[in-house]
């Protein structure tokens, strides 16, 4: 019998992400009414159901008591409720991980619903005649999707069916589902890393590793500027895109050809990824730059400071940031002075030191190095944690310095006389350049308080520099 007068509430279960919901049902002599799914109320604090974006509503009508269906796990989320009648529901975690095989069961009537996350097997048995079982799903069925099944009679799950399975009608297909020991677990949603051959891309590969659900792409196998990007993958199988691809030739961007390439890579491509993320409810992680600022601020830049780029490269990065900011689930990771596996300032200074060259280095730009290992670890923490969506400054921690200071420290750590490095202004350094030169922000220092509040694991810049040179 339907329970009336419940307050809307939700509680977790023994299966992570599986949530049992109490629904208010209002009735009188004429019948009853309920709000079966009410997005605003159900995603509010105190209920906190995922705003999972349903695209289809299905109803299964069952004439007889004991009708039994399942156990089916699909690559989408499900919101299950009962319109009329009553069921015994059983759910089994068929996802990869520590809770694989965990079981939860409960009775559902019109005053109760359950949110079933992707990869959790769903099954039920009707306890009353004329039971209408209804469910919302956030993807359309596809023959290309990954499905996982478990036999209703599996001995390991040992579901306590109210009516013995021998006494009920089960489809031939459901009877042939495998036992738990033979089930292929549902893999996690995929993570796509673009720009996989760059300094950050290589650090992300080291951080996340090689797994079936990790995909590392380059321009050769995925054209981010293509108008067909939206159909280049089955994007509903993905959970996160980490965009480590970018045009970073700061001075070349000031040329006609470079300007075109910079806007294509840093804006057109980003717009395509943003569209894919928004349409498929993905998390988009985008890597930004200190070059979105003009460098005139006295003190470290906050995430909320207004952008004012000085050159084409900075303009394209600022435009990309603005595009990503409207994606519902996004992280913009703002970095400066990136150092990783590839050609960079630190390696250049180390090479000059070893070759006996005494360089002149700019001494009027201040900031901190961002080691790619720190950026990659911060990104992993963001997408696996609970930090609010938005912008996060991410550099290595520690005292700021100029390029001149860093060059001298490189010389010292490599066992060479730091006095061989002399300083000069940015204007002096580029005074006789035969090619266009982009304006640089004099202050590239980024405030790291938001990163600290989000517990992003950023290393000390001095320690990172020492370790980097020892391994180079």
Q: What is the CATH number of the domain that holds 331?
A: 3.40.50.720
Q: At residue 168, does pLDDT exceed 60?
A: yes
* 442-451 pLDDT per residue, tens: 999 999 999 9
Of the candidates 248, 205, 202, the residue with the CA atom closest to the CA atom of residue 342? 202
- Residue identified by tokens 């005074």 is 431
Q: For position 53, what pLDDT does the model report? A: 86
In whole angstroms, what is the distance from residue 116 CA to residue 79 CA?
Answer: 6
Q: For position 3, what pLDDT does the model report? A: 65
Q: At residue 4, does pLDDT exceed 80?
A: no
Q: For position 261, what pLDDT does the model report? A: 97
Asked if 75 and 137 count as a contact pair (C-beta separation under 8 A), the reply is no
Are residue 163 and residue 306 in the same domain, yes or no?
no
Instruction: Tell me whether residue 1 is in a domain.
Output: no
* 386-399 pLDDT per residue, tens: 899 999 999 999 99
Q: For position 49, what pLDDT does the model report? A: 84
Q: At residue 47, does pLDDT exceed 80?
A: no
* 298-334 pLDDT per residue, tens: 999 999 999 999 999 999 999 999 999 999 999 999 9
Instruction: Tell me whether residue 4 is in a domain.
Output: no
Are residue 175 and residue 226 in the same domain, yes or no?
no
Are residue 271 and residue 408 in the same domain, yes or no?
yes
* 224-250 pLDDT per residue, tens: 999 999 999 999 999 999 999 999 999
In whole angstroms, what is the distance from residue 334 CA to residue 197 CA?
Answer: 20
Q: What is the mean pLDDT of residues 64-76?
A: 94
* 396-415 pLDDT per residue, tens: 999 999 999 999 999 999 99
Neighbouring-strand partners of residue 19: 12, 115
Asked if 398 and 462 count as a contact pair (C-beta separation under 8 A), the reply is yes
Output 34 or 200, whichever has higher pLDDT: 200
Asked if 403 and 365 count as a contact pair (C-beta separation under 8 A), the reply is yes
Instruction: Tell me whether residue 2 is in a domain.
Output: no
Q: At residue 48, does pLDDT exceed 90?
A: no
362 pLDDT band, cuts 50/70/90, is: very high
Instruction: Tell me whether residue 37 is in a domain.
Output: yes
Are residue 160 and residue 211 in the same domain, yes or no?
no
Instruction: Tell me whether residue 3 is in a domain.
Output: no
In whole angstroms, what is the distance from residue 58 CA to residue 381 CA?
Answer: 37
The catalytic residues are 72, 135
Question: Which helix (H) or strand (E) segment is 284 a member of?
Answer: strand 283-289
Q: At residue 455, does pLDDT exceed 60?
A: yes
**Domains identified in the chain, total number:** 2
- Quote the domain boundaries for residue 296: 190-471
Please say which residue of 182, 215, 248 terminates a domain.
182
Q: At residue 424, does pLDDT exceed 90?
A: yes
In whole angstroms, what is the distance from residue 331 CA to residue 324 CA?
Answer: 8
């Amino acid at each position: 019998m339907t329970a009336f007068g419940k307050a809307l509430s939700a509680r977790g279960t023994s299966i992570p992400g599986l949530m049992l919901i109490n629904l208010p049902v209002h009735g009188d002599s004429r019948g009853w009414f309920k709000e079966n799914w009410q997005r605003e109320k159900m995603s509010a604090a105190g209920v906190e159901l995922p705003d999972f974006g349903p695209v289809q509503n299905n109803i299964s009508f069952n004439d007889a008591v004991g009708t039994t269906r399942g156990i089916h796990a699909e690559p989408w989320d499900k919101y299950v409720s009962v319109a009329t009648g009553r069921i015994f529901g059983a759910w089994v975690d068929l996802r990869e991980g520590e809770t694989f095989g965990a079981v939860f069961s409960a009775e559902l009537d019109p005053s109760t619903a359950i949110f079933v996350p992707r990869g959790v097997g769903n099954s039920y048995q009707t306890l009353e005649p004329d039971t209408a079982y209804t469910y919302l799903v956030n993807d359309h069925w596809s023959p290309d999707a990954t499905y996982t099944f478990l036999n209703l009679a599996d001995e390991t799950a040992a579901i306590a069916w109210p009516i013995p399975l021998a006494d009920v009608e089960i489809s031939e297909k459901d009877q042939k589902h495998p036992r738990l020991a033979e089930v292929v677990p549902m893999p996690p949603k995929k993570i796509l890393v673009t720009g996989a051959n760059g300094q950050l891309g290589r650090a992300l590969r080291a951080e996340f590793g090689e797994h079936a659900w990790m995909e590392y792409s380059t321009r050769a196998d995925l054209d981010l500027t293509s108008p067909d990007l939206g159909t280049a993958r089955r994007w509903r199988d993905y959970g996160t895109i980490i965009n480590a691809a970018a045009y970073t030739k700061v001075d070349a961007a000031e040329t006609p050809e470079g300007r075109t390439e910079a806007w294509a890579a840093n804006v057109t491509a980003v717009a395509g990824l943003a569209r894919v993320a928004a349409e498929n409810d993905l998390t988009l992680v985008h890597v930004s730059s200190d070059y979105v600022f003009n460098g005139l601020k006295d003190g470290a830049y906050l995430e909320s400071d207004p952008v004012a780029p000085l050159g084409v490269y900075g303009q394209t990065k600022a435009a990309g940031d603005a595009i990503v900011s409207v994606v519902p689930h996004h992280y913009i990771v703002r970095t400066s002075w990136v150092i990783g596996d590839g050609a960079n300032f630190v390696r250049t200074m180390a090479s000059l030191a070893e070759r006996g060259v005494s360089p002149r280095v700019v001494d009027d730009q201040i900031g901190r190095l961002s080691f790619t290992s720190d950026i990659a670890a911060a990104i992993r923490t963001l997408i696996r944690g609970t930090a609010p969506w938005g912008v996060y400054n991410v550099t290595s921690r520690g005292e700021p310095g100029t390029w001149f200071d860093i060059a001298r420290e490189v010389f010292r750590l490599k066992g060479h006389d730091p006095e061989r490095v002399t300083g000069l202004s940015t204007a002096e350094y580029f005074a006789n350049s035969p090619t266009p030169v982009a304006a640089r922000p004099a202050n590239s220092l980024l405030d790291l308080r938001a990163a600290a509040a989000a517990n992003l694991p950023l290393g000390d810049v001095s320690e990172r520099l020492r370790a980097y040179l020892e391994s180079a």
